[in-house]
Structure 1
Amino acid sequence: MFVYERFLIAASTLYLAGKVKDDPLKIRDIINVAHNTLHRGNGPLEIGDEYWNMRDAIVQAELLIMRVLKFEVSITHPHKFMLHYLKSMEGWLGRDQWNAAPIARTAAAFLQDFHHDPSILDYAPQHVAIACISLALQCYGVRLPLIEDNDDEAWYSVFVKDLQKDRHWEIMEKVMEVYNKEPETS
């Protein structure tokens, strides 16, 4: 396993993010910010061997990041689906029951934590949002009104038609596995 310098990866992701959002940042600015972060109080990095080495490292790290992301840098995030589903569920449950348990906060926390696992990229964003909401509902024992427990229809079929129950459980298990991983030591 390779260990990468975190400031190099951070600088490279900033540089790549600017490109993805059509608001490119000058690599010289990225280098100066990274250098100033590492060496507080120093002025801008002079163009020389250190500058060119850092520039080459950022470009190489950018290529690595692109490979890790499978060159899929313009993705649809599950957050917007989750927000839509939660707003609909708030009306579905009613304000009193909705306020009784922090479903939205817990579902958002599950989603945030799931971003620490690369398998989040293996699932449709709508399905990830549903799985995180399902976990939150189960944690607080909240049952949605007007939903019968049968094998034909799940509560989330109102929002997504293409999510099979076995896939739903698979995603929920992946989210829960995030909490069983040992923290990385640096």
Structure 2
Amino acid sequence: MSTSLYPLASLPQIEKTPSREDGIPGDLEEDLRAYGCKLIHEAGILLKQKQVAVATAQILFQRFWFATSMKQFGIGDIGMGALYLASKLEECPVRIRDLVNVYDLLLQRKAHIRAQAVASSLASTSSSTPSWSELKYTPMSYFGNTFYDLKEAVVVAEMQILKRLGFNLTVVLPYNTLVNYLRVLGLTSREDVCTKAWGYLNDAPSVEARLQTPVYALYSVPTIVCAAILLTTRHLGIALPSAPENCWWELFDAEWEDLSSVCGWIMRLYRERSLEDHTRVMGMVAKKGVRQWLEEHRSVGGEVR
């Protein structure tokens, strides 16, 4: 990680992440990152955790994959470890037992949805009527192997995050900066501007897609905030000075190339994904699923197809 007020990924890490070095395609890595962040967000809701801790966990999660490959660690385990560690950093700790129970419920629910989707796809090809059933969740035993395995996974993931990030866990959230920038631009009186810009800082206007892109590990907070304001003003048709000699984002030391890149990351979340794409990531929460996918898609010459 580069040395800054807060750590950002270096150019070599950005050009070819450890996961891509191991043969994982860039689009698949993006989907796995987004899915891992979504699990963190859903777990935070069920745990009634503070949003600041959830956001910190998602940023730590994104940074981790610039230092380590998804072939070595599962996104589910690292997500648990990131949320557990971030809860300590933000002084709102959670019990490992509660965290493990919530993730077990989420993963069982996702596995059930994936099985239902696959069954529905097979039924549609055979012209039969697909049948959907509700998940019958059975809590794990506190004295069973599953509970102790997940508990150990949380501890190991926390230690790996600390180790791989070099104990540099500084996280700067952008919300105060957004308020200040909107005040300077005279936009705080527009409720729609504040709401939409706040949503773009979370990578999308809906609460279900919070912090799912790695921009917080790639760009400085002023650049990300300016990109959120740019998307908001363009969407709402608000004119701001943008002539080459008088660009509003230069007031905040942001570069146009960086702004357009951040906007591209955010808007890629809206791209259409097939049923196969959705079910694929659900089956790759653990490193075992990633390795199995790599083996299935590896050609005779050793390259990933």
**Same fold flag (TM > 0.5):** yes
Question: Hey, what does 2:237 align to over in structure 1?
Answer: 141
Distance in 2, matches of 1:151 and 1:36, equals: 51
Give the AA of the match of 1:15.
Answer: Y
Map Cα deviations across residues 106-162 of structure 1 (whole Å, 9 max, x no partner).
212222126211233100011101111111101111013xx4x4212211233x1x2
- How is 1:164-175 mapped onto 2 (pairs within 5 angstroms)? 164-175=255-266
Aligned counterpart for 1:77 among listed residues 173, 184, 189: 173
- 1:113 partner SS: coil
Q: Please tell me the residue identity of whatever aligns with 1:106.
A: K
Instruction: Give the match for residue 216 of structure 2.
Output: 120
Structure 1 gap segments, 5+ residues each: none
Is 1:155 aligned to residue 251 of structure 2?
no
Aligned counterpart in structure 2 of residue 86 of structure 1, from 159, 175, 182: 182
Any conservation in 1 of the 2:193–2:233 contact (CA below 8 Å)?
yes
* Distance change (3 Å), C-alpha of 1:79 and 1:59: same
Q: Are 1:178 and 2:273 an aligned pair?
A: no
| Structure-2 separation of matches of 1:94 and 1:16 | 34
CA RMSD between the two structures: 3.5
Contact 2:203 2:212 in 1 (8 A): yes
Structure 2 residue 87 is the aligned partner of structure 1 residue 21:
no
| Residue of structure 2 equivalent to 1:108 | 198
Distance in 2 of aligned mates of 1:55 and 1:128: 35
Identical positions, percent: 21
Alignment match, 2:44:
none
**1:164 Cα deviation (Å)?**
1.9
Distance 1:63 1:72 in 2: 13
- 1:21 Cα deviation from its structure 2 partner: 2.8
Is 2:105 aligned against 1:12?
Answer: no
Higher relative contact order (Cα pairs below 8 Å, separated by 6+ residues):
2
TM-score normalised by length of structure 1:
0.69
Q: Distance in 1 between matches of 2:97 and 2:266?
A: 36
Cα distance change of structure 1 residues 85 and 12 upon mapping to structure 2, 3 Å threshold: same
Q: Distance in 1 between matches of 2:257 and 2:102?
A: 50
TM-score (norm 2): 0.45
Change (3 A) 1:141 1:56: same
Is contact 1:12–1:59 with CA below 8 Å preserved after alignment? yes
3-state SS in 2 of match to 1:116: coil
Aligned equivalents of 1:70, 1:122: Cα separation in 2: 17
Aligned length: 170
| Structure number with larger C-alpha Rg | 1
- Give CA-to-partner distance per residue, 1:35-59, whole Å, 9 cap, x none: 487588969824x755543332112
Residue 154 of structure 2 corresponds to residue 58 of structure 1: yes
